Structures are given as structure tokens and as C-alpha cells.
Amino acid sequence: MATTQAIRIHSVGGPEVMRLEEVPLADPGRGEARVRHRAIGVNYVDVYHRSGLYPLPLPTGLGVEAAGVVEAVGPGTAGVAPGDRVAYMAGPGCYAGARVVAADRLVPIPAAVDDVTAAAVLLKGLTAHMLVTRVHAARAGEVALVTAAAGGVGQLLVQWLGEIGVTVVAVVGSEEKAEIVLRLGAPHVLVTPRDDVPRRVKEITGGAGVPVAYDSVGRATFESSLACLAPFGLLVTFGNASGPLPPVDTGALSRLGSLAICRPTVFHHVASAADLGAAAAAVFTRVGAGTLRVAVGARWPLAGAADAHRALEARATTGSSILLP
Ligand code: NDP
């Protein structure tokens, strides 16, 4: 059987548990395609998988997103053919030279979008799409809080909200990141820990607070983001880069103004082929038109995946990070 190189873990822990191994590469079965990777997206969920925050059966591969070329399709596989450029998200195992995946999860990459950009934007762009259209129908004229705004998802979310006409109050961890987000058009950028975020949000909104807060930092910002909300506001907690949330005191949601919390996951929102196709088209159309700019902040060889994780966890990256097989 053919083989390919892949990053695998046999135990959970720090970046050092990742090993580059030679793994079998099967022929695609019915309804499947084998994709030769040209670029692999690094996502914060890969850190949760590696650390054990999101437990997986071991040993396991890592990585949930890649872009490349279809090199073989299984019997009865419709809609894709060898030579097609595609991107996809799937369960852990994308940190590899090639992979066999269900053909109905493959998204064609438009000619105007290169492979690295596709791997940098698919999962993160679908997440931004979910956040502004499905979890909360963002509207022109409203104000939204966005944490980790210079990150992979954050930069896309800031731009998409701006396109809709939402006034973004962005939160970032350094002055350099603030510069990046200002260049993306965010009218208000707060830097932690320098700025008192709830106090500044109240000032910016004339005391009202924001109707929606998009928080991917988790434990460290949970209380602050809740405190930024207007009555009936929605906290969209969609990540835990600083650690998982404490148990939620629903009484506090009542006291703070009949607030709501939701915890969405992009894989659920694109579970059907129709939803995946529509959301991916919305992302790639914007990328092709230049209305959604994709910043690839760092590239590492596949063998350097541990360094990519170290940088991500050290808050040293901006935009999307890519592994090159
Ligand atoms: P990012 O590029 O945003 O990297 C994480 C950022 O989080 C850092 O750069 C940093 O920005 C901020 N951060 C704050 N505190 C910490 C901390 N203690 N440790 C590490 N980072 C910290 O990553 P991604 O774009 O890949 O993902 C962004 C978030 O969105 C993640 O939480 C991820 O889990 C989540 N996500 C959720 C999805 C879903 O379906 N629910 C789908 C995709 C992503 P700063 O220094 O500016 O604070």
C-alpha cells in the first residue's frame, strides 16, 4: 500500500507529543476521493485535540482542514475528478501529505483563489459566515464586540461585519495587533490588558452596551464579554484559547439583563452538502472579489507543526497559519 507522511500523536500533551510518521494511504472507496495536499490550515482546535481538552481516541492524526488536488476517486464517486483543486474540512488527520476523504465534503477552489489562501480561509471563513448569518443575523448599524480580532477567524469576522455595516469594537492583545485590525477598518480597537473593555464599550455605546459579543478567548474574557452586553444581548462563545469557561450561572444572565449565551460549532452548521456549498460560495466569492482579505501570517513545513502550535499558543501569530507538506 502507498504511504504518506503525517503528524500523529500517541499521547496528549504539549507540542512535543507531535511526531512525523509514515502512514498508510488507502485507495479511495465508494464515494471517496484521495486529495494530495498542497497547503494545510492550522486551527486552534488542533491545539485542543493535541492537549486533550477535546479528547480523541489515541493514537490520532491532527488537523481538520487542507487544500490540494484530487488524485484519485473511488467507484461511484460523482462531482469530483482527478485534477480538481479542492479544499475541505474533516475530522482530525489533515496534517499529512495526502488523505482519503468523503467526496461530498470537498469544495472546489475557484481559479482566482490559490491553494494556500484556500487552506487559510475555508474553515475560518465558514466560521465567520456562521457567526454573522446563522448564529446571529448581524445588521447594519448595530455594534459588535470581537475578541482575538487579529487572529485567523478574528480578521475575517472583523471584515465581514464591516461589510454588513456593523460597528466593530475589536479586542486584541498587543499594539501591533491593533494596527492590523485598524487597517481592516475596525473603528474601535481595544488592547488588553491596558484597556478596561467593559468600561470602554459602555463609553463607545453611550452606556447601552453591545447586542452581540463574539468571544473566542473563553475563560479569560468570559466575564468581561458578558459585562459588555446590552439587555437581551447575546454572548456567542465559540472558542476557548485561554481555557474552557467556568460553569455558567444562569441567574447571572437574568440579573445582567436577560442575556443569552450560545456555543456554536462550525461543523454542525455545514453538516449538509447544501449548507456547506452555500457557505463556501459566500466565502470564496468574497475572497475572489477582494472584499475578504486573507492574511497568511506564517508558514511552516509539515515537519514544523510543533513550532506552529507553539506560536499559536504563545499568541505570537496573526491571521492564518499554514503547514506546507
Ligand atoms: P487565532 O489566530 O485567533 O489564535 C488565538 C488568539 O487567541 C491569539 O492570537 C490571541 O489573540 C487570543 N488569546 C487570548 N488569550 C489567549 C491564550 N491564553 N492563549 C492563546 N491565545 C489567546 O486562532 P484561530 O483563528 O484558529 O481560532 C480562533 C478561535 O476561534 C479559537 O478559540 C478557536 O477555537 C475558535 N474557533 C471556533 C470554531 C467553532 O466552530 N466554534 C471554528 C474555528 C475557530 P490576542 O493576543 O489578540 O488576544
**Do 91 and 14 fall into the same domain?**
yes
Q: Percent of the chain having pLDDT more than 90?
A: 100
Number of helices (H), then strands (E), belonging to the chain: the values are 10, 16
202 CA to centre of ligand 1 in angstroms: 24
C-alpha closest to that of 68 among 25, 18, 15, 109: 109
- Ligand 1, atom nearest to 220 Cα: 15
User: Has this prediction a pTM greater than 0.75?
Assistant: yes
Residues 6 or more apart whose Cβ sits within 8 Å of residue 226: 213, 235, 252, 253, 256, 259
- Ligand 1, atom nearest to 266 Cα: 40
Residue at grid coordinates 474601535: 188
Assess contact for 91 and 49: CB atoms under 8 A.
no
- Ligand 1, atom nearest to 192 Cα: 48
Assess contact for 188 and 204: CB atoms under 8 A.
yes
Listing from the earlier edge strand, what are the strands of the sheet with 19-25?
19-25, 2-9, 60-61
22 CA to centre of ligand 1 in angstroms: 30
80 CA to centre of ligand 1 in angstroms: 33
Strands 143-146 and 210-215: parallel
Query: Closest residue (by CA) to atom 45 of ligand 1?
Result: 173
Query: Closest residue (by CA) to atom 3 of ligand 1?
Result: 151
CATH number at residue 118: 3.90.180.10
Confidence of residue 294 (pLDDT cuts 50, 70, 90): very high
Assess contact for 136 and 108: CB atoms under 8 A.
no
218 CA to centre of ligand 1 in angstroms: 9
Tens digit of each residue's pLDDT (9 = 90 or more) over 80-127: 999 999 999 999 999 999 999 999 999 999 999 999 999 999 999 999
C-alpha–C-alpha distance, residues 60 and 62, integer Å = 7
**Do 7 and 77 fall into the same domain?**
yes
| Domain-ending residue, one of 227, 246, 263 | 263
**Do 110 and 148 fall into the same domain?**
no
In a domain, 129, yes or no: no
Assess contact for 40 and 325: CB atoms under 8 A.
yes
**Do 8 and 116 fall into the same domain?**
yes
Tens digit of each residue's pLDDT (9 = 90 or more) over 275-290: 999 999 999 999 999 9
- From residue 19, how far is each of 7, 46, 49 by CA, in Å? 5, 14, 14
**Do 88 and 173 fall into the same domain?**
no
In a domain, 115, yes or no: yes
Tens digit of each residue's pLDDT (9 = 90 or more) over 30-44: 999 999 999 999 999
Question: Which set of grid coordinates corresponds to residue 161?
Answer: 461585519
Please provide the size of the chain in residues. Answer: 325
Pocket of ligand 1 (CB under 6 A): 43-45, 123-124, 127, 148, 150-154, 172-173, 177, 216-217, 220, 238-242, 264-266, 312-313, 315, 317
Tens digit of each residue's pLDDT (9 = 90 or more) over 147-189: 999 999 999 999 999 999 999 999 999 999 999 999 999 999 9
Query: Which sign, positive or negative, has the C-alpha torsion 98, 295, 282, 131?
Result: positive
- The answer, yes or no, to whether residue 298 has pLDDT greater than 90, is yes
Assess contact for 232 and 259: CB atoms under 8 A.
yes
In a domain, 130, yes or no: no
Tens digit of each residue's pLDDT (9 = 90 or more) over 200-239: 999 999 999 999 999 999 999 999 999 999 999 999 999 9
- Residue 249 belongs to what domain range? 140-263
Mean pLDDT confidence for 135-151: 98
216 CA to centre of ligand 1 in angstroms: 6
- The answer, yes or no, to whether residue 1 has pLDDT greater than 90, is no
CATH number at residue 221: 3.40.50.720
Query: Which sign, positive or negative, has the C-alpha torsion 51, 103, 114, 270?
Result: negative
Q: How many domains does the chain have?
A: 2
Mutate to test the pocket of ligand 1, among 135, 216, 235, 236 (most ligand atoms within 8 A of CB): 216
C-alpha–C-alpha distance, residues 315 and 299, integer Å = 16
**Do 215 and 298 fall into the same domain?**
no
Assess contact for 312 and 84: CB atoms under 8 A.
no
Tens digit of each residue's pLDDT (9 = 90 or more) over 238-277: 999 999 999 999 999 999 999 999 999 999 999 999 999 9
Confidence of residue 291 (pLDDT cuts 50, 70, 90): very high
Determine which helix (DSSP H) or strand (DSSP E) holds 324, and give its type and residue range: strand 320-324
C-alpha–C-alpha distance, residues 32 and 141, integer Å = 45
295 CA to centre of ligand 1 in angstroms: 15
Assess contact for 136 and 212: CB atoms under 8 A.
yes
| Domain-ending residue, one of 243, 263, 283 | 263
Backbone angles phi and psi of 131, in degrees to 5: -70, -35
Question: Which set of grid coordinates corresponds to residue 95?
Answer: 496534517
Residue type, 163: E
